[in-house]
Amino acid sequence: MKNKELSILLSKGLIFLGMAMAAAMSIWLPSCIGWLEEYYYKPLGHVPSCIMGYAVMALAIVLLVFLYLLLRNISQKKVFVKKNADILGVISACCFISAAILFAWGLITFLEVIFLVAFIAGFMGIILHVLKNVFEEAVSIKEESDYTI
């Protein structure tokens, strides 16, 4: 029992660390994009690349907030509830939208690393979407079980 509580606490701490890293990266993002543009072909320009980068960063922060909400529900022993399935749906959508933005960015800039990150984001979106479907089915089974005498 203690290990589960410690695991959830550690996960929440890592989420806050991720948010802090995202905040720090939002300061360094223009510099990082500028560094990439020094060494690679830059058909898009600095400002549009920064806009795409900040869009992905905003989606990552939204994802972290909803992940925190999911962990909060789990720590409150609310596991198989519709709200958690909805939260997983939002997290999955954030992954898919990020993948689409990154894929478009990769097509424009021809940077392989951006395609790789887009693939990873899309793959995570698929996994989370399947997990959302499993949660929805578990909620349905739980509700049916609750109504059975």
In the predicted model, is pLDDT for residue 145 greater than 90?
Answer: no
Residue 132's pLDDT band, with cuts at 50, 70 and 90, is: very high
pLDDT digits (tens, 9 = 90+) for 21-46: 999 998 999 998 888 777 776 667 78
In the predicted model, is pLDDT for residue 55 greater than 80?
Answer: yes
- CA distances (Å), 81 to each of 40, 64, 137, in order? 48, 20, 10
pLDDT digits (tens, 9 = 90+) for 66-116: 999 999 999 999 999 999 999 999 999 999 999 999 999 888 888 888 899
Q: Is the pTM of this model over 0.95?
A: no
Q: Residue 85's pLDDT is what?
A: 96
Q: Are 18 and 64 in contact (CB under 8 A)?
A: yes
In the predicted model, is pLDDT for residue 4 greater than 90?
Answer: no
- CA distances (Å), 83 to each of 71, 92, 112, in order? 12, 14, 37
In the predicted model, is pLDDT for residue 149 greater than 70?
Answer: no
Q: Can you read off the two tokens belonging to residue 71?
A: 């962990």
As to burial, measured by CB atoms within 10 angstroms (0-12 exposed, 13-18 middle, 19+ buried), residue 39 is exposed
Helix (H, G, I), strand (E, B) or coil at 122: helix
